[in-house]
Structure 1
Amino acid sequence: MNRISILDGLRVFAILIVMIGHYLHNYDLHGNQFLEFVRNYGYFGVPFFFIISGFVILYSLGATKSYSDFLKKRYIRLAPAMLICSIITFSFFKFIYTGEGFTNSKSFANLLIANTFIDPHVFNLPSGYIKYYYLDGSYWSLWAEVCFYLLIGFLYFKNKQTYIRNFILICAIGFPVYTLLSSGISHKFLQPYIGESTLDYLKLIGRCLVLFRECFWFIIGMFLYKLYNNKADKKYIVYIIICAILLIIQDKLDIGFTCLTVFTLLVYFTFIYKPHLLHFLTNPILTKIGVSSYSIYLIHSYLGLGIIEMYTQYVGKQSYVIYFIMIIAVLLFGLFSYKYLERPISNFIKKILFSQK
């Protein structure tokens, strides 16, 4: 399956927004409105990734023979980077970090859970309280991705004609359920009728259903793929806009979120209809970073913040130097890890999983 270079370039944009947003989190921006906007909405890079996933997964499903092969390929892509980055993160906080906080990153149990790709809250369900947590807070999005892979792959190989419709129908049920379990409004309504402990348990269940909170982004990506293959079929534009409106309503009509959603759609519509305007994203350096963006995402957050906290005293707390150095270092690590660590591990796993082929 050939890669789409522009999408790899867009991954660079997404990961940089996420990184900068995280690294500016504890920085005194002195009223700089632009940087405050980036800090407050840096998370938007994750939905950007979800759209790409919706697109790329449909692209890859067409080149896959069976559901089991699809899952094996997904595991081969995800597992090596998670193994490498989670061990590095755990080891740093367990044996090197001297500051306060990041307790969850020192837990061996959280390290093991991270490599299952299952949300830690699933493991908290039997006890009903938070015992396990993310090794790195950024890992939350992986559970949404994995649930999407499991569900859309199953539906595709069950019926290739109706799988998108069926996915939307499941989301039409799952989204209200998630909202009921997680919404503060529904909690106020339910509180007089159920105990506080029951309400907390419902919240815990809701946290395990994060796919349905993010499902509209994946659906947009799927419709973009359909539009990519049939640019004349304008009904997909309508479907995409409807999904965007639902997302804006879900986020309570927040003006920053609304502007970024509109901007995102414009970027992806440009990719579909005017790709030459985004040709600069096919630069080989950008595409290489884009290919390695997954490991960059996994390693950048807690580890980067921990290193910044430890060494900011040497450059000054309000200096941008350490943030710039950290971003460059993480990008270089991603490039190195993908080529020299992840690919050899991927090839090894591939030989095992596809040994009977």
Structure 2
Amino acid sequence: MLKTLKPNFSTLDGIRGIAAFYVVINHCRGHLLIGGGELAKIKPVAEWTMLEKVYYTLLQATALGSEFVILFFVLSGFSIAYSLRNQQALKSFYLKRFIRLYPPYIAALIWAAFTYHMIDKYFHALNGESISVFEDFNTTIRNLFYITTGDYIGQFWSLIHEVFFYLLVPFALLKKRWYYIASVVLYLVGIFIPVDFQYLNKFTEFLLKYNIYFTVGVYLYYNYDSFKKYFLISKSYVFYGILCFLFGLEVILNYLIDINEISFFIASIASILLIVNFLEKNITNMVIRKLGEMSYTIYIIHFASMYIFYLILLKVGVTKDVDKIMVWWVWPTGVVFCLITAIPFYYLIEKNTKKILEYLRKDKQSS
């Protein structure tokens, strides 16, 4: 069906917005609040209040940052499959991807460098052994080509995998069946070979670990009607119940075992469930739409913003040790700070890249 009918990209962006918002929560909670294990060293669990026990138990639901990045990958596969449905010229495809993604990325690198130098100036000890993304010529060149090096860019690990996918997918879709087979085979190889080989370099990591989730998105697009039969849930409360069950299961698995493949698999199933039901039911509201519009900027800006928030906490005396923050309201305030910080970056950079792309589309249609 979706080969001819355009998906509602506002709805898909809404899913991205939710994922980006969750990743911000994951990082702020993880960096702006002492972990339960560390707290237990200071205050034995037997002395915790019931509220503290409930609070830290509930916070386990914020520990799925990598799983929500898998959602980004599945969405990218689905969206790019639509973009390439008519096998547009490679030059046009790569130009649009460059315009859409690269200017905000450069802005995020500049923001990370600014963060490094502000911390170096006002609280040098926090930098420790870290380096700026523009530390020297070699570091700068590496970062310009998505070989991320330096600090305050912790979330950038996923961007190189997006880039690999964009570079390969126009050719992969020429032979979709072979692409599906190769993706599954490489994924299975990645499961059974030593982990050290998986991480030999970023490209092998992409092929053996992460490409499969982009492939899930591509396959979903080309087989959408079949998936809709099994994943579309008529009752909203049942849909949200199943979604809560899937993510609850992921939380339990993350707590009990350290096997990413299982939780990533569940995340890909949840991604299909979200895409199908959000598209068919047009699930959206003003907040989701706004998060969706800004999702890319939120994702690439927030990590450096969080460390600027660190610096503010230290300067105003809220804490003297960023590794032992025990005040419950600090990390939610950090989430708000990161979202607010993303606003000027979005309107100055990303929104203008969207305007350029819209102009190119109109110009192509008129010609």
TM over 0.5: yes
Give, in angstroms, the shift of residue 203 of structure 1: 6.5
Mapped contact 1:178–1:206 kept (Cα < 8 A): no
Question: What's the CA shift for 1:286?
Answer: 1.6
CA distance in 1, matches of 2:29, 2:359: 42
1:225 paired with 2:231, answer no
Question: Are 1:344 and 2:339 counterparts?
Answer: no
Q: 1:135 to 1:20 in 2, by over 3 A?
A: closer
| Partner SS for 2:164 | helix
2:85 aligned residue: 62
Cross-structure match for 2:183:
171
Match of 1:43 in 2: 66
Give 1:34's aligned amino acid: L
Cα root mean square deviation, aligned: 3.9
Report the residue type matching 1:113 in the other structure. R
TM-score computed with the length of structure 1 as normaliser:
0.71
**Alpha-carbon distance in structure 2 between the residues aligned to 1:203 and 1:231:** 31
Higher relative contact order (CA 8 A, sep 6+): 2
CA–CA distance in structure 2, aligned partners of residues 337 and 148 of structure 1: 26
Partner in structure 1 of residue 243 of structure 2: none
SS in structure 2 of the partner of residue 299 of structure 1: helix
SS of equivalent residue, structure 2 residue 127? coil
The SS at the match of 1:105 is: coil
Which one of the candidate residues 285, 291, 294 is aligned to 1:289?
291
Q: Structure 1 segments of 4 or more deviating over 6 A?
A: 232-235, 348-352, 354-357
After TM superposition, the structure 1 stretch with the greater mean CA deviation from structure 2, 77-86 or 288-297, is: 288-297
Query: What's the CA shift for 1:88?
Result: 1.1
1:318 aligns to what? 326
1:146 positional shift: 0.9
Report the equivalent of 1:34.
58
- Give CA-to-partner distance per residue, 1:297-354, whole Å, 9 cap, x none: 11112x13422432334334322433223222322333432233233356669999x9
Partner of 2:164: 147
Distance 2:66 2:291 in 1: 19
Give 1:264 deviation, angstroms. Answer: 5.6
SS in 2 for 1:208: helix
Look up the equivalent residue of 1:205 and give its one-letter code. Answer: L
Mapped contact 1:289–1:334 kept (Cα < 8 A): no
| Counterpart in the other structure of 1:183 | 195
Q: Matched residue pairs, number?
A: 306
- Between the aligned partners of 1:278 and 1:254, the Cα distance in structure 2 is 36
Q: Provide closer, same or farther for how the CA distance between residues 94 and 148 of structure 1 changes in structure 2, counting only shifts above 3 A.
A: same
Pair 1:268 & 2:285 matched: no
The aligned amino acid for 1:33 is: T
1:8-157 matches, within 5 Å, as 8-26=13-31, 27-30=33-36, 31=53, 32-39=56-63, 41-62=64-85, 65-97=88-120, 98=123, 99-101=126-128, 103-106=130-133, 107-108=135-136, 109-117=138-146, 119-120=147-148, 132=149, 136-156=153-173
Find the residue that maps to 2:326 and give its secondary structure: coil
The runs of 5 or more residues in structure 2 that have no matched partner are 1-5, 37-52, 232-245, 320-324
Residues of 2 paired with 1:275 and 1:345: CA distance? Answer: 25
Instruction: Give 1:330's aligned residue.
Output: 338
One-letter code aligned to 1:208:
F
Q: Which moved more, 1:340-349 or 1:19-28?
A: 340-349
Which residue does the alignment assign to 1:199? none
**Conservation of the 8 A alpha-carbon contact between 2:12 and 2:279:** no
Displacement after TM superposition at 1:19 (Å): 1.4
Kindly provide the CA deviation profile for residues 141-166 of structure 1, in whole angstroms up to 9, marking residues without a partner as x.
1111111111111233xx2xx32x22
Residues 1:214 and 2:210 are matched in the alignment: yes
Higher alpha-carbon deviation: 175-184 or 79-88: 175-184
In the TM superposition, what is the alpha-carbon distance from 1:174 to its structure 2 partner? 3.7
Deviations 1:69-118 (A, max 9, x none): 1111111111011011111111220244422336133524434422322x
TM-score normalised to the size of structure 2? 0.69
Distance 1:15 1:298, change over 3 A: same
- Counterpart residue type for residue 110 of structure 1: T
* Equivalence for 1:309: 310
Give the whole-Å Cα distance in 2 for the aligned partners of 1:232 and 1:346. Answer: 30
